[in-house]
Amino acid sequence: MGYFGALVDKDFKAVYRSFEIDDRDGDVSIVVASSVGYFFGLRQWNISLVKTIVSEEVLYDNQKPLFGKLKNDLKNFYKVRYSAEMYD
């Protein structure tokens, strides 16, 4: 499974909080695109802690462009790093 991460901005935090009712005030610092969906979590030193996994199917239409860019960054990373197409 490949993945590509980014720092969380206010738009990603808003999506996280829409899915995590019990942790609306909780902190997230990274969002990761992977072949199975999107992970929200915390980065502490060299350790990444996953708090929530969201599949693409549960995203609202207005959220998909934000995550689509992250997914495209993952695909481009695979092309540059491995000279290969990434699976969809």
Assigned domain for 37 exists? yes
Question: pLDDT tens-digit profile of 48-71?
Answer: 788 888 888 888 898 888 888 888
Assigned domain for 7 exists? yes
For residue 74, is pLDDT > 70?
yes
Given pLDDT bands bounded at 50, 70 and 90, which one contains residue 1? Answer: very low
Assigned domain for 68 exists? yes
Assigned domain for 14 exists? yes
Assigned domain for 45 exists? yes
Assigned domain for 67 exists? yes
Q: Which residue has the higher pLDDT, 87 or 76?
A: 76
Q: Which residue has the higher pLDDT, 17 or 39?
A: 39
Torsions phi, psi of 72, nearest 5?
-65, -35
**Domains in the chain, number:** 1
Question: Could you tell me the CA-to-CA distances from 36 to 20, 23, 32, 33, 82 in Å, in that order?
Answer: 19, 23, 10, 8, 20
pLDDT on residue 77:
76
Task: Give the domain extent around 78.
Answer: 3-82
For residue 47, is pLDDT > 70?
yes
